[in-house]
Structure 1
């Protein structure tokens, strides 16, 4: 290769000069940089306005018009000629600026990597660590400096990593994620991502290490907070006034609101519920409400059986079922009992006080061991049934008399709820009347209305049959009354007789005493119905100060 070829192959402006500084050869980059063409054999100094040699740095500073050069002198093998390789100072400045920008970008990249909460380490394609951040020390307990220059294979061998994604990323040429435990027992998520050059060749692998134990702890805390939040929401809902009706259930009185608030608290507590109260107060309605709003309504059924309506010799087979051939007339296939049918659900035992003593023993076993045995069967069967029992009898008194087992009584009496009679919750009467009237009108395609005096009578009546009696009477009136308006005259005779004596004294007394008795009765009913003395005065056609005075006289208070 001659000098011309050598000089031309140099990627920077280059010129070959003799010892006496005569131009021998130069490349096209040198020619393009000069404002005047150099002639071979002339002095190099003639091509530049200024030519100075810096002896301390062994560099030559040259100037040609607006361009400035820096030349570095080299030698050619086997020749005494001098090779000068130069660079315009403008290009050097650009390189310097570019180098500065590159340093700034590198600093920013380092800051970003260092600020990451996740551990980051960058390797080449062979798995040798090139850069990492301080988070990896928090996750692994090993200083980040240890990783630099280390192979991921060495980290696996030492037990710091169980597996490395680097080789998988290089092999599969895509992002790869694995979950594993590190040497400290922490669960970590490792994600490796390939970095490609312009030719599509992987140059680096960036691996992200996330400590899932922290994330899992946060998730657990979040779930606890959500559960607590839901609990508070439920508590707040219970503290608020319930609406007057819940799916057709009237709970206008404060007493009934408290009862249904209690029911809301125990819907998913699988303890036995004992509903107490007179016949017709709505024990079965409350039992069905507890089931409907519980988790059991999603899997099981609400099965109701009246213990007093089925003969004792048949009640056992109804409750516990029987096997094939257990007795004469038994089905060949056998029959499941109510406990089996109610599995995963609720069995409502109405009139539990009528349960015969021999069946009380079997019921006690179900409550204690959660298993039943069919009549004629030899193997017990597990059942998952919640018991809701109801009675209008005094079970405590029955225990004393020996008519009810004491151990069964205490098994049933875990969550007792007493439902008061209708006469003790008169705030429910008028809403119930309207509910039953709407139901009867819809059932018989009518549009009957109740007279105001009739409503007053229904409000003051004591209702020994409670809701059942009230419902039956309203339906009866809707059917038998020929006119659209139902009045006092349409009442059955037994109710009309009651209406004539409802506020009268039961024996002969002085007129003053009779007047006071009537006032007490009327005012007592009024404070049940109205919320303030102004409404009472208006309803009784009196003045508000008079009402206040008489309420104080008879020691009566308005319920708010």
Structure 2
């Protein structure tokens, strides 16, 4: 009758919550008076083996571990809190020497005690709830404790799976790029991966590619993902600085350093970017004298102002872009080998648009949305228009495509952009517009492409085209490859 009386003191709600859990009843004088079937699976000992045993016996049998792990809390309301805590930290961080016995705590504290621990025999991580059972009519006298043990192994496995999924999500979030960085071709996925891997590391990155491929866009992506994104970012267009002003512009100068110098001196661009990032655009045009000084800055992390004698420490991350083959320039003694290797720690090479034609549609749509919004238009492409764009070689690369889409949005009264309109925009008279809207190099590319294509149509062979245009045959072949011109077999 004693067992039935004490079991009756456990509310049906609580017993219902613990269906499938291991449950045993401990009397105040020590022995376990009852247990259920799941004890074998969870504790590693059967119901028959533990009835009549004391808690100390269970420790000696290896059910519990001498060095244990515990989260502790009081009453059943602490259980959700313990489980949330378990999701936040690793259980192994909570190694406790001489772990407390929860049944003893329940007897002494006269209230429900719960904890999370790792068992000895089965190595299972379990939730323990020790519930005091009071003598009938005596609320302060605890005669038995019901120990309920819930297996959390599946919960832990689920937690680990969730953590893995979250890690994967974090990884893919890193590969999510801003609207300005468009493309899902294999080569662009590789570039995005390189950006995600190098952005957070303060190393130099050399970004190479033809004019208009988006080198500065890549540089900005690296910046926005770096720990310097909120610091100074200075783009130095090396091709726009006169050679005699390079040193004073990059390093600054002291008061009265030269005739015409400002009386208070001037802070150089590298020093202004201290703590941030510097983009050296068109780094290939740096004069040899400046290359040596820049190399020293990269190696020593310091500068000397023009007219100064003190070393000024600076902390900048250097990104550099080039549309030239720097290795070839090194071989031709046009670029310092030591500076090349210092800049070339990480290289990101952007392929021309003609080599990633699968990106053309997504780029064209993105630019269409951009210029529709800018010019308050509602233009759309007919399918044949997109097909024509995909067939084009785009010698000016992404910039060429962007400007073409802008013209298509601006010009014309209807909303539908047709194949004929695309054809006109691509092959129409454009050079005068290109000189104003695009780089000189792009205007040259457009003109060269037209001249070579016309010559190929008329003279067929590359040898004859080279002879008529007054250049070598290898030059024609190289230019045709770069500009996307298909040559006839000689």
TM-score under structure 1 length normalisation? 0.47
Aligned equivalents of 1:234, 1:377: Cα separation in 2 = 52
Aligned equivalents of 1:274, 1:289: Cα separation in 2 = 14
Q: How does 1:13-412 map to 2 (within 5 A)?
A: 233=167, 237=171, 246-298=178-230, 300-412=231-343
Question: Which of 414, 429, 441 in structure 1 is aligned with 2:372?
Answer: 441
Shift of 1:259: 0.8
Aligned equivalents of 2:239, 2:165: Cα separation in 1 = 40
Shift of 1:414: 1.0
Aligned equivalents of 1:367, 1:384: Cα separation in 2 = 10
Shift of 1:388: 0.7
**Residues 329/481 of structure 1: CA separation in 2 closer, same or farther (3 Å cut):** farther
Aligned equivalents of 2:198, 2:426: Cα separation in 1 = 41
Aligned equivalents of 2:233, 2:404: Cα separation in 1 = 28
**Residues 360/477 of structure 1: CA separation in 2 closer, same or farther (3 Å cut):** same
Give 1:166's aligned residue. none
Runs of 4+ in structure 1 deviating by more than 6 angstroms, as ranges, are: 101-104, 108-111, 115-118, 229-232
Shift of 1:507: 6.8
Q: Does residue 1:431 correspond to 2:357, yes or no?
A: no
Report the 3-state secondary structure (helix = DSSP H, G, I; strand = E; otherwise coil) of the residue aligned with 1:295.
coil
Shift of 1:315: 2.5
Give CA deviations for 1:212-249 in whole Å, capped at 9, x if unaligned. xxxxxxxxxxxxxx9xx7999269835x9956x53431
Shift of 1:487: 2.6
Aligned equivalents of 2:236, 2:322: Cα separation in 1 = 12
Number of aligned positions between the proteins:
298
CA contact (8 A) 1:322 1:377 kept: yes
Shift of 1:434: 0.9
Shift of 1:314: 2.1
Question: Which of 401, 406, 418 in structure 2 is aligned with 1:470?
Answer: 401
Report the 3-state secondary structure (helix = DSSP H, G, I; strand = E; otherwise coil) of the residue aligned with 2:240.
coil
Q: Which has the higher contact order (CA 8 A, sep 6+)?
A: 2
Aligned equivalents of 2:252, 2:413: Cα separation in 1 = 50
Aligned equivalents of 2:279, 2:174: Cα separation in 1 = 28
Aligned equivalents of 1:277, 1:405: Cα separation in 2 = 20
Aligned equivalents of 2:295, 2:459: Cα separation in 1 = 55
CA contact (8 A) 2:67 2:97 kept: no
**Residues 102/288 of structure 1: CA separation in 2 closer, same or farther (3 Å cut):** closer
Q: Could you tell me which runs of 5 or more consecutive residues in structure 2 were left unpaired when the two chains were aligned.
A: 1-26, 31-53, 58-63, 69-95, 99-159, 430-448, 461-490
Report the 3-state secondary structure (helix = DSSP H, G, I; strand = E; otherwise coil) of the residue aligned with 1:409.
helix
**Residues 365/485 of structure 1: CA separation in 2 closer, same or farther (3 Å cut):** same
Shift of 1:103: 8.0
Aligned equivalents of 1:253, 1:434: Cα separation in 2 = 16
